[in-house]
């Protein structure tokens, strides 16, 4: 399975490592280049931007967000505008669960899961 990961802090980077150990291909992006480069040396595919990440994923795409609560909405909105109907977003961001319910409704309106 191919998975995109946005947010390569401690949790995101370790989840990428675990996924790769399980045989999954990971395409990774972060606001900071260093963790992208580090995970690329470990076997992940680095993406320089959200456009690059989406381009490197095969449809239907699976993209996992592991970003701080303060940037979940902006990252999700930027990402959703680049995805296609049927793509899947896993919101692992550190935010209040009721906010996730509203985000799910916004994604569903775009036919994203």
| CA–CA distance, 52 with 99 (Å, rounded to integer) | 27
Determine phi and psi for 14, rounding to 5 degrees. -70, -35
How many domains, in total, are found in the chain?
1
Give me the domain span that covers residue 65: 2-109
Cis peptide before 60, with omega less than 30 degrees from 0?
Answer: yes
**CATH number, domain at 80?**
3.40.50.720
Tens digit of pLDDT at every position of the chain (113 positions) = 999 999 999 999 999 999 999 999 999 999 999 999 999 999 999 999 999 999 999 999 999 999 999 999 999 999 999 999 999 999 997 788 899 999 999 999 999 99
| CA–CA distance, 101 with 82 (Å, rounded to integer) | 21
| CA–CA distance, 59 with 70 (Å, rounded to integer) | 28
């Amino acid at each position: 399975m191919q998975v995109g990961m946005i947010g390569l802090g401690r949790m995101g980077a370790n989840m990428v490592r675990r996924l790769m150990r399980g045989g999954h291909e990971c395409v990774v992006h972060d606001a900071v280049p260093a963790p992208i480069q580090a995970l690329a040396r470990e076997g992940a595919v680095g993406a320089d931007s959200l456009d690059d990440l989406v381009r490197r994923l095969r449809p239907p795409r699976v993209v996992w967000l592991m970003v701080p609560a303060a940037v979940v909405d902006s990252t999700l909105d930027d990402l959703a505008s680049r995805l296609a109907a049927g793509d899947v977003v896993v919101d692992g961001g550190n935010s209040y669960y009721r906010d996730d319910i509203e985000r799910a409704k916004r994604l569903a309106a775009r036919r994203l899961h």
